[in-house]
């Protein structure tokens, strides 16, 4: 039986999910979080569906051993696979990334939305389907930003390589004439400020992490699993290079101290 006191799992292919973890911790301070980033095998967004499904199942099996009431897919690429198709035999709930519908639709006056995401997410048309179901006039311009994930995983912030990649993708979005850019990959909020600066003040760059955290809160309340009291904690697990990943945790949540574990999913 699932109970309020159980933890919440948060998974991603790598360090990107930390940007969602940060919002979840802010929104749900009494909850315990167990983060798992499969840094040894990131990026996922350039892999086949079969391979991604296999890796995700291994991550979900890890959470079977962790006493969790819910797992949040802090990864858009994984979310495109459909949470119901991943749930199968697992007892905990499973929630994916928000497509940012509420923020995107109210922010876009021109009805032209740029989607920065992995190749896999762009190909899925997940965001387009969600927006046009609400407003059929919305046009989504999907831009696969394949250079970003390896650069973020390698913490290449402020480097000429990163600047060139930001310019390449924002130039494309400017040509499309969008007035909103949705960060449709959880690695990209690490570059939120730089992308916003490059797009200019007439374009709103939106991170759906806060909307995802709100969805999680509503789910917990509806299911009677919301933990209201006490101080929560967070444990962080990675499958790859710990030193590099711990630096990115410090960059993402400065001043915070967490227990870290290296885990093997094989």
Q: How far is the CB of 17 from ligand DGL (least distance, A)?
A: 6
Closest separation in Å from C-beta 227 to ligand DGL:
26
Which residues sit opposite 35 in a β-bridge? 10, 236
CA dist 97 and 14 (Å) reads 15
- CB of 60 or CB of 225, closer to ligand DGL: 60
Residue 184 to residue 192: CA distance in whole angstroms:
12
Give min distance, CB of 46 to ligand DGL, in A. 6
Structure tokens at 101: 């519908």
Nearest to 75 by CA among 138, 149, 130, 131: 149
Give whichever of 150 and 232 is closer to ligand DGL, judged by the CB atom.
150
Nearer Cβ to ligand DGL, position 76 or 198? 76
- Spacing of C-alpha 103 from chain mean position: 16
The span from the CA of 14 to the CA of 36, in Å, is 8
Which stretches within 119-241 are classed as H helix? 119-124, 126-134, 148-153, 160-176, 192-199, 209-222
Residue entry with tokens 């710990």: 242
CA 163 – CA 144 distance, rounded (Å) = 16
Give the nearest distance from C-beta 62 to ligand DGL in angstroms: 17
Closest separation in Å from C-beta 148 to ligand DGL: 9
C-beta separation of 258 from 24 below 8 A: no
Residues in contact with ligand DGL by CB under 6 A are 12-14, 16, 42-45, 75-77, 118, 121, 149, 185-187
Q: In this complex, which beta carbon is closest to ligand DGL, that of residue 50 or of residue 222?
A: 50
Phi-psi region of 177 (alpha: psi -120 to 50; beta: other; left: phi over 0): left
Catalytically active residues, by annotation: 75, 185
The conformational region for residue 230 under phi > 0 = left, psi -120 to 50 = alpha, else beta, is: left
Measured from the CB atom, the residue of 81 and 199 that comes closer to ligand DGL is 81
């Amino acid at each position: 039986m699932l109970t309020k006191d159980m933890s919440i799992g948060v998974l991603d292919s790598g360090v990107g999910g930390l940007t969602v973890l940060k919002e979840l911790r802010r929104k749900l301070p009494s909850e315990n979080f167990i983060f798992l980033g499969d840094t040894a095998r990131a990026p996922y967004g350039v892999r086949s569906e079969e391979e991604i499904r296999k890796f995700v199942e291994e991550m979900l099996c890890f959470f079977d051993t962790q006493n969790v009431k819910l797992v949040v897919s802090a990864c858009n690429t994984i979310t495109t696979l459909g949470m119901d198709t991943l749930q199968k035999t697992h007892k905990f709930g499973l929630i994916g990334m928000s497509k940012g519908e509420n923020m995107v639709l109210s922010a876009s006056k021109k009805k032209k939305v740029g989607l920065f995401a992995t190749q896999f997410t762009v190909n899925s048309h997940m965001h387009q389907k969600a927006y046009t179901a609400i407003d059929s006039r919305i046009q989504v311009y999907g831009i696969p930003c394949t250079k970003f994930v390896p650069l973020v995983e390698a913490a290449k912030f402020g480097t000429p390589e990163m600047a060139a990649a930001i310019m390449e993708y924002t130039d494309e979005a400017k040509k499309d004439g969008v007035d909103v850019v949705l960060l449709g990959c959880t690695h990209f909020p690490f570059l939120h400020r730089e992308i916003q600066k490059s797009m200019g003040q007439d374009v709103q760059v939106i991170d759906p992490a806060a909307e995802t955290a709100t969805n999680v809160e509503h789910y917990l309340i509806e299911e009677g699993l919301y933990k209201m009291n006490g101080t929560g904690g967070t444990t962080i697990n990675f499958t790859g290079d710990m030193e590099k990943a711990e630096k990115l945790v410090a960059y993402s949540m400065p001043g915070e101290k967490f227990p870290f574990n290296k885990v093997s999913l094989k």
